[in-house]
Amino acid sequence: MSTPDYLSELFALDGRVALVTGGSSGIGRAVAVALARAGAAVVVAARGEAGLDATVREIEGHGGRASRVRADLGTRDGVRAAADEAAALFGEPDILVNSAGVNLRPPMGELGEDVWDTTMALNLEAPFLLGQRFGPGMAGRGFGRIIHISSQQAHRAFVRSGAYGVSKGALESLARSQAEAWSPYGVTCNALVPGFVMTPLNERLSSDPEKVEALAARTLVGRNGLAGDFAGAAVFLASRASAYVTGQAVFVDGGFSAH
């Protein structure tokens, strides 16, 4: 078997359908493009029309197949509507990537119920509902990949973890519960754990040069993350190559967590 054929057997996503929430920017967009370039037909779901269109154009510019769903994933009805609309485009997804999130971090003493509810709805409940919608079908077909985008705040408290850190810790627990339920039927469920990544979600920190420099100094590679750093890990977790990797938190953080 030639090298290209071997790599294709391991990593190619031809014939697969992926749904990527938060695919209009940041890590979600980079992952959506990577999955499409590996052969999957990709549906991106988010609120921003312009960002969704830009992601679809980028994928199509590489010769891939893509479509988009404008979605409000902060409500149960919005999640259900987005799931149905997404499944109608290319069929039921084989790959679900939960990247949509909100990053609200007031001081703990000022953390109100409104911020708590908003954070949990988008960061935790939407991935749960989408898993409930698509996970059993993946199990029934004998193949599925669920990938959650987590955070360092799931493992350590800094820069006001607040409700955000709680939601990401619970998200990793959700991955383990989903793995317990569905991995015997060919569905792997894992979380990617970024370090500090220069994305719109981290605008509050990325606009402070001193904090950006301090966070980069905590890594072992000497820089903060970029959205494109997640392409390879996402394709791996979405592919046949990761069939024996499930229930895991995979750190893609430049050594931030090891420092």
**Where in the sequence numbering do the catalytic residues fall?**
164
Evaluate whether 157 touches 209 at the Cβ level (below 8 Å). Answer: no
What residue ranges in the chain does DSSP mark as E strands?
A: 17-21, 41-46, 66-70, 95-98, 144-149, 187-194, 249-252
CB 57 within 8 A of CB 44: no
Q: Side chain identity at 143, as an amino acid letter?
A: F
Q: Is the separation of the CB atoms in 226 and 181 below 8 Å? A: no
40/94 Cα distance (integer angstroms): 9
Tell me which DSSP letter residue 201 carries.
G
Token pair listed for 235 = 């394709």
Angle (nearest 5°) at CA 178 between 175 and 180: 110
Which amino acid, 44?
A: V
Among 230, 235, 254, 255, CA closest to 245? 235
Tell which residue, 132, 206, 135, 201, has the closest CA to residue 168.
201
- Cα separations (Å) of 229 from 16, 27, 33, 120, 184? 22, 9, 12, 26, 30
What distance lies between CA 124 and its chain's CA centroid?
12
